[in-house]
Structure 1
């Protein structure tokens, strides 16, 4: 649904996005993770050409946006909704007026606008707030207005620019649940940027890590978890530094639904090894149980034990001595 090829964006001598390739499948939630200054927001704004790229191409829904003229681009943008970090609501307009605003620009008749606004406010849980003003709303309610406005033109793609970073944890979870429901019920393709690992963990099917204007790694989360040396796995499941000879066991998508099996006990009994647990974490990621365990194996048939774990579909990495 979204294809970014060789994307570059420079502001004078400062390169914010440097040769980025990104592919987002139709109907998935794709998260771009990175620290402040990584180039995430610039990348997102290049996807709908709010920022005109210095080089490369952007294709959304089969249309190369970077090849369109102004009029065609305005039309194409109607299929792309955007949610902003700080809501970007018009303070002088009511909730209903904010949601109706893009429909007015699109020339939708008044009666149809009113019906659509009512439908959208009900969808995001704000049916009783149509006449309220932004100053009367909580942060979570403001963001729900922003989401309703982004959906006004019935887009197939939704872009989210740090949509939860200004919200408390409880409100963040409710907004993420809403995005997940919109993705599921309407088949929306969602590209979101965030610096919060909980966002990636909670709703994303695929992810990329961005640093210094470049993508360091990208792919389906289940595939990244199964990739040796994956930075995303390190970020999702931080462990103490690996000691020489220590073993890191990652429960990946290949081991889906069995992450709570007593594999360590099985190894101890079967291969007569001693297991010293150095650290571990287990989480629900991309809809499956996944996690990492760092251990030291001594005695018995240690090599055979490692082979057994690999045969069970686990990623096993041994730190160099």
Structure 2
């Protein structure tokens, strides 16, 4: 549904022609139809720029962006605006019009595209029911909680019946309980509407709860990308360390300390007890947990096993576990970004003039 190849976007520091900031540096991305794909990274990693290049709010300097089989980077002005109707976007800070009611905010995108009044009214009512705000059509944004405001933003993003939904840190301004309700709503919409969702976030909880695929982004590049279950089993995976951090000793006298990752049926099987019984050994669990992810159950453990006996490790691997020697897990690396007193501006201006249907209220 979304195919990106060789995407590159550079900004220059205002007043300093010799200083260029590469926000996105040669990114390739493939998001299958109906997938929920999360791009995880710290502030300054290039996530927001990547997202804005997908719907062409920012035109990339190099590379191609194809959505639903249409190469957006090859389109100009009007064809591009029409193609963007199939891409919805929800924002971190809601981007609602304070002077309009809930119904008026949702109807805004339909007004811009010239949908008749009666049809708009029916569609707005349908969308408000869909996001759980059927009784709040006449309320104003100032009368809503943060979670309700974000539900309005989601309804507005779905107004034109898009097949792709972009989420720009949609839960980072919300409390944990509200975040959980919004994530459940997004997952429900994904399943009911076969909606392809590409989201950016710095919250590991978001990836854990709803993403079936993910990428870790740093300094404008993907350092790893793929299905979450595949990344969990990849030795040295940053995503695995983030989802299941193991703050425990990496060496013990007379013990072999290993990290074990399991998923699917093996995550709930009494695998460690079976190892202890079969080989008549003590298995120490130094750290770890098993949790429900979007697509499967998964767990990661740091174990201490008797040194010099490879049979328990071989057995774990035969059962589908990924096993590797425990290593100290590094802290997140610092992010390269412009100095606070510098302003960056695009090297090229977007090719879009006129109202942005999804972002005009921002």
Class of the TM-score when normalised by the shorter of the 2 chains = over 0.9
Tell me which residue corresponds to 1:250: 261
Whether the 8 Å contact between 1:6 and 1:21 is mirrored in structure 2 is: yes
Unaligned runs of 5+ in 2: 13-19, 328-362
Question: Does residue 165 of the first structure (1) align with residue 172 of the second (2)?
Answer: yes
Q: Deviations over 1:281-303 (max 9, x none)?
A: 2111123221111112116x720
Residue 241 of structure 1 and its aligned partner are, at CA, apart by 5.3
Greater mean deviation of Cα atoms: 257-266 or 42-51 = 257-266
Greater mean deviation of Cα atoms: 164-173 or 223-232 = 223-232
Question: Does residue 276 of the first structure (1) align with residue 256 of the second (2)?
Answer: no
Residue 149 of structure 1 and its aligned partner are, at CA, apart by 0.3
Higher RCO structure, 1 or 2 (CA under 8 Å, sep 6+): 2
Distance across 2 between alignment mates of 1:265 and 1:176? 35
Tell me which residue corresponds to 2:88: 81
Distance across 1 between alignment mates of 2:5 and 2:257? 40
Whether the 8 Å contact between 2:302 and 2:326 is mirrored in structure 1 is: no
Q: Deviations over 1:182-228 (max 9, x none)?
A: 10001000000111111100011100111111111010111111211
Greater mean deviation of Cα atoms: 124-133 or 142-151 = 124-133
Whether the 8 Å contact between 1:251 and 1:291 is mirrored in structure 2 is: yes
Residue 242 of structure 1 and its aligned partner are, at CA, apart by 5.7
Distance across 2 between alignment mates of 1:161 and 1:188? 16
Q: Secondary structure at the match of 1:100?
A: helix
Question: RMSD of aligned C-alpha atoms?
Answer: 1.3
Residue 132 of structure 1 and its aligned partner are, at CA, apart by 1.1
Whether the 8 Å contact between 1:271 and 1:302 is mirrored in structure 2 is: no
How do residues 80-159 of structure 1 correspond to structure 2 at under 5 angstroms? 80-159=87-166
Distance across 2 between alignment mates of 1:222 and 1:243? 24
Q: Deviations over 1:53-76 (max 9, x none)?
A: 111110000011000011100000
Q: Deviations over 1:6-61 (max 9, x none)?
A: 11111121111111111100001001111111111110011000011111110000
Aligned partner of 2:243 among 222, 226, 236 = 236
Tell me which residue corresponds to 1:260: 268
1:241–1:5 Cα change, 3 Å: farther
Residue 265 of structure 1 and its aligned partner are, at CA, apart by 2.0
Question: Does residue 44 of the first structure (1) align with residue 51 of the second (2)?
Answer: yes
Distance across 2 between alignment mates of 1:146 and 1:189? 17
Tell me which residue corresponds to 2:297: 289
Size of the aligned set, in residue pairs, is 316
Q: Deviations over 1:95-121 (max 9, x none)?
A: 111111110110101111111111111
Distance across 1 between alignment mates of 2:316 and 2:266? 13
Q: Secondary structure at the match of 1:258?
A: helix
Unaligned runs of 5+ in 1: none
Q: Secondary structure at the match of 1:49?
A: coil
TM-score (normalizing by structure 1): 0.96
Whether the 8 Å contact between 2:109 and 2:160 is mirrored in structure 1 is: yes
Greater mean deviation of Cα atoms: 262-271 or 178-187 = 262-271
Aligned partner of 2:24 among 9, 17, 21 = 17
